[in-house]
Structure 1
């Protein structure tokens, strides 16, 4: 899994447990060079861009053959395609796109893919509630969120596949969770989040279109990749365990939507009990929540940044 878009970019992060970094201190790859008149050499490093959003490239190697999908697309029109160029990844190599949910910071980067590819003939998989109009209501007023357009995405050439139930991609190697049941009493969703259903605005704190990607690494356990984790990472873990029948958890990657309050400590308590080998929190995971994860899971926690490449191999 290579992070293409995240809230953090750091060219000086060294490699970590199971993670290689792109930049000046890691072994994932060198920073590309761009021309500039402000340097005596006429060049500068073209560092990877961070933005409030998430996107990841999932690659599965089986018998020497590499399969590749795009998981989420980031927030800006050109952020994803720009980082793909910097990393030397050709967007026409993706076999499918999975959108974890319908929030703009996971969808908008499709714009740049379309401009580059013309009419991309690849499937886009998402929950049918991902098209809902949404807003956030709080003390400062109401913020309307950009809504993804099914007509525009289909008109661009993508094939939309809506699915509420779990589904399998890449010849059944990769599980997409579908709608995740809310079973914990502490993962209560996003306060103030609303959706327009049937022409009326109402509470939508659970954001039920949130889904994750799951892979079983032989001899190691489940790997779970989230976009925001609005369903709650413990709900997602339990859902993945129930669907797959596999109890052991190997790694948790991606946005956890942990910010503050009792939910952070309760979630970390449950994660500690699951004893994952790797926790790579991204995107909407606050600094304080990351500090607590690092303190409670010191042997598993690894900070994320754009360009981090996590390699998880099966046991012989």
Structure 2
């Protein structure tokens, strides 16, 4: 082989090696490396090794991701959150996404929770903070005082709905955003309707929580709200059994199941005993949903003052304008409940 051929061959070999290395580097950086569409949740203070453990099952070649991540200094700029990983993403795209902190929002939702404790538990299932840190934020004394809430009224600040949050939202930022949502919910129109019923916001929510507990059928709520407002305006005791159940649970424990309110229960000493006290309890007995709030703001106008469960229409009530009519309805209900053997 001539010297010229040797040189040419050498150049070709070097070129092939260089091309192979270039292709290898290019593939590591720009070739598709994600298996399918998925999400990754990176907790606060996560180490790079922990990120690798979380993301490796979603990759075709975890080693190439690690190499690119280190080259782009990702181990020193890890940002927590939920990130959407799309099928076919390259290591370069993936590392850029994680470095940017451009996380995907979540839809956080809750319905009419019974207490702040249960609300905290529900929220902790959907965002990063644990239930204790969330509960501490919800009960923070300084926050409550500054915003004119008490522990008795605080649950009324949370309007059941779906909201957009980032997964790594702190407990305090969750609470503060819910305060903003609460203020947004109470428009001038709603405040005017509350004033028309001679109720404060807390009064509306408290009465709505009773309506919520009394009704299984949404369409019946404006009528039930109208009944309680008739009693309220005329300074009658509301005589709402759900408030007695609430008072009993405060005394006996939240996990106690009470299916029937007994005559002796009506004597319980409590600010929530609406058989003994005139007017509204000091705060909601649960978190009412929007339909119950709207029922109080837009009640049905009628002359009903009495109601009891209607045995002929499951989940509904038999309404009455007079005590005599109500007593007949109540006797039917008492006979039915005795037949079912419900003692408590």
Instruction: Establish whether TM, by shorter chain, passes 0.5.
Output: no
More helix by share: 2
Looking at both structures, which has the greater relative contact order when contacts are Cα pairs under 8 Å and sequence separation is at least 6?
1
Say which structure is richer in strand.
1
TM-score, normalised on structure 2?
0.22
Q: Which has the larger radius of gyration?
A: 2
